[in-house]
């Protein structure tokens, strides 16, 4: 089994086309666009930042997600991942946001697999053992998993913990998915579970 790698918290202009995929027999996921972001952007908490180094860039990929029943249903954001064939890597998103008003977006709640030992750090993440990290269910043989982690230790004694995301009830929402990618990335593929959502080329 390939070892899991970490990007300690890091878009590109993409060529894509509108494409709708039905997932879990519950939602339609419609690819909208992918754009390049600056090296720095703030997530939904004021203390949590994602930063790309000089060899990386950040991509924001937008989807429209609709419940087939037209009722709110629980959506699992941990099934999103990016596959980089050239690098033989499978990347977890570094952040996800959904709209709750016309132009206002909220981040999906971030989870970690242990109870907070420091109340100040509980501002960054929560503990909810009822939510499985389904990103781990879709490993690809021959590919390294690239995780997003926070160091809850020190520089001398790091204690890196994977960050995953809580589920959210959605009906018809825009969802933005963020990844850290190599600066010279030329192509990739976005999946939800075992289903390909879209292939893209990077300008």
Looking at residue 4, its pLDDT comes to 57
pLDDT at 7: 52
pLDDT score of 115? 78
User: What pTM does this model have?
Assistant: 0.84
pLDDT tens digit sequence for 72-91 = 999 999 999 999 999 999 99
CA 62 to chain centre: 11
Contacts (Cβ under 8 Å, ≥6 apart) of 15: 200, 201, 202, 203
- Tell me the C-alpha distance between 37 and 43, whole Å: 13
Q: How many residues make up the chain in this entry?
A: 203
Question: Rounded distance, CA 118 to CA 154, Å?
Answer: 14
Give the single-character DSSP code of 109: P
């Amino acid at each position: 089994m390939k070892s899991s790698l970490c990007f300690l918290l890091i878009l590109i202009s993409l060529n894509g086309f509108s494409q709708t995929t039905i997932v879990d027999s519950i939602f339609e996921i419609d690819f909208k666009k992918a754009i390049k972001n600056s090296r720095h952007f703030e997530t939904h908490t004021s203390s949590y930042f994602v930063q790309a180094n000089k060899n990386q860039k950040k991509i924001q990929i937008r989807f429209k997600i609709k419940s087939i029943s037209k009722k709110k249903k629980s959506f699992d954001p941990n099934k999103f991942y990016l596959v980089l064939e050239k690098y033989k890597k499978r990347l977890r998103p570094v952040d996800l946001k959904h709209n709750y008003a016309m132009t206002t977006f909220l981040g999906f709640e971030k989870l970690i697999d242990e109870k907070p030992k420091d109340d100040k750090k509980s501002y960054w993440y929560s503990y909810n053992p009822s939510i499985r990290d389904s990103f781990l269910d879709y490993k690809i043989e021959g590919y390294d998993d690239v995780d997003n982690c926070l160091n809850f230790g020190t520089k001398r004694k790091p204690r890196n913990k994977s960050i995953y995301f809580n589920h959210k009830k959605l009906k018809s929402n825009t969802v933005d998915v963020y990844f850290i990618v190599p600066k010279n990335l030329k192509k990739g593929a976005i999946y939800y579970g075992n289903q390909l959502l879209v292939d893209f080329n990077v300008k």
